[in-house]
Amino acid sequence: MRLYLDSADLAAVAPLLETGLFSGVTTNPLILQRAGVRLADVPRLVAALTSAGARSVFVQAVSRDADAMVDEGRRIAGLGEQVVVKLPANRPGLTATVRLARDGYPVLVTAVYHARQAVLAAEAGAWGIAPYVGRMDDAGRDGLAQVGEMQEVLAGSRTLVLAASIRGIDVVHQLALRGIDAVTMSTAVAEALLVDRLTDRAVEEFDAAARTLAGPASGDDSD
Ligand code: G3P
């Protein structure tokens, strides 16, 4: 399962990218707003994230109609070969996805809430879909079950499932158990994912033992 970071906070993202465990960074207008990043800052953000080790950066178009989304999507894609355009799973977003995908631009169809939208995104030629697991739960839908159905619906297609709106490491665990292709998470969830108190305790024991192993090699027992 590929791991991504859902954040535009470079200071928080950079040390996580440095681990080499995260394939890239996903953003959207909410993520930009939380990080205080304006649309005019996005080109500089993409460059900074790429320099920090992001192998792919996802940038969402903010236009509302399909024609404008296509034009904006082309501009976003022009920010770099590692940039993936994000478009919402509504009618104009799916229409723009058809046109951009046909021209070879990778598109992540986002704000996906039902498996039927996965069918539409695959038909549109989308690179992937971003189901909002936490928000499905908030709306009374079983997010994990819905994402499992989306993965089933997309089996055999080239459209990947990149689960988003992840509220904790237990959700990452459940997504992995379901064979979901990828997940994007906040830096807080990513930091929590990297820690296990039992592993830390074992490492402390290793360190304590290693400190007793210093000094010259023990004598050769052979006579
Ligand atoms: O990428 C999805 C994110 O913007 C929404 O996550 O936790 O606000 O539902 P959340």
Domain ranges of the chain: 2-213
Q: Which atom of ligand 1 is nearest to the CA of 31?
A: 4
Spacing, Cα 66 to ligand 1 middle (Å)? 23
In this model, does residue 221 exceed pLDDT 80? no
Spacing, Cα 81 to ligand 1 middle (Å)? 25
pLDDT 10s digits, 72-119: 999 999 999 999 999 999 999 999 999 999 999 999 999 999 999 999
In this model, does residue 223 exceed pLDDT 60? no
CA dihedral of 183, 112, 175, 83, whole degrees rounded to 10: -20
Check: CB of residue 128 under 8 Å from CB of residue 182: yes
- The residues, ordered by sequence, that sit 6+ positions from 219 with a Cβ below 8 Å of its Cβ are none
pLDDT 10s digits, 9-38: 999 999 999 999 999 999 999 999 999 999
Closest CA to 176 of 188, 193, 159, 191: 193
pTM tops 0.85: yes
pLDDT value for 218: 86
Model confidence band, residue 219 (pLDDT cutoffs 50, 70, 90): confident
Q: Which atom of ligand 1 is nearest to the CA of 167?
A: 7
CATH fit for domain 2-213, picks 3.40.80.10, 3.40.50.970, 3.20.20.70, 3.40.50.300: 3.20.20.70
Burial state string for 13-33 with b = 16 or more CB within 10 A and e = fewer than 16: bbebbeeeebbbbbbbeebbe
Identify the H or E element spanning 153.
Answer: helix 143-153
pLDDT 10s digits, 45-73: 999 999 999 999 999 999 999 999 999 99
pLDDT 10s digits, 129-164: 999 999 999 999 999 999 999 999 999 999 999 999
**Tokens 């997504």 sit on residue:** 175
Spacing, Cα 192 to ligand 1 middle (Å)? 17
Is any atom of ligand 1 closer than 6 Å to the C-beta of 168?
Answer: no
Whose alpha carbon is nearest atom 6 of ligand 1?
Answer: 165
pLDDT value for 220: 60
Q: Which residues are catalytic?
A: 86
